[in-house]
Structure 1
């Protein structure tokens, strides 16, 4: 999975890229096909938006499903974590839908 990080009007933490790559690469365990994920970080300079001044938008591209998650928090890492929760839920739902469940019941079988 290719990860692109765009920062607009924001100073990123030194370890942000490493944390983002680690968390996004862990999503490969679900087997959902995602070619590229764009991480967009926006910083609002308006002081009235102090608690929600950093916004992170995650968007997936590729042959798999289109996923998009957005969150606003007090810093870029907290916003990324909140967006990852939503992104994780979406991937889990797609993974659960693709599972093949054995729907045989005991009624069809002869019980001794």
Structure 2
């Protein structure tokens, strides 16, 4: 969202647009409209909800995950190598990476 508020030529959206074109997108398919870029990142990939780290921690806590089991990672740096291999370079500037480990607990409501 900070990219939406930044209207500089060297802001996130112009850099992201150039990056997508370097990966094969055509300029005519990537208009320079800010709302288009938000939708390109969000809706065009089938997302239904936007998460930041706080929202993700809340959702995971509600699902019974221990907050200590959540580790922020970077692109291609999962603690589980085969999961890191799933990261797509085309999305690394628009994606939050976290590892979450499920732990067992005596409380059956938290499994």
TM-score in terms of structure 2 length: 0.28
Structure with more of its chain in strand, by fraction: 1
Structure number with the higher helix fraction is 2
Larger Rg: 1
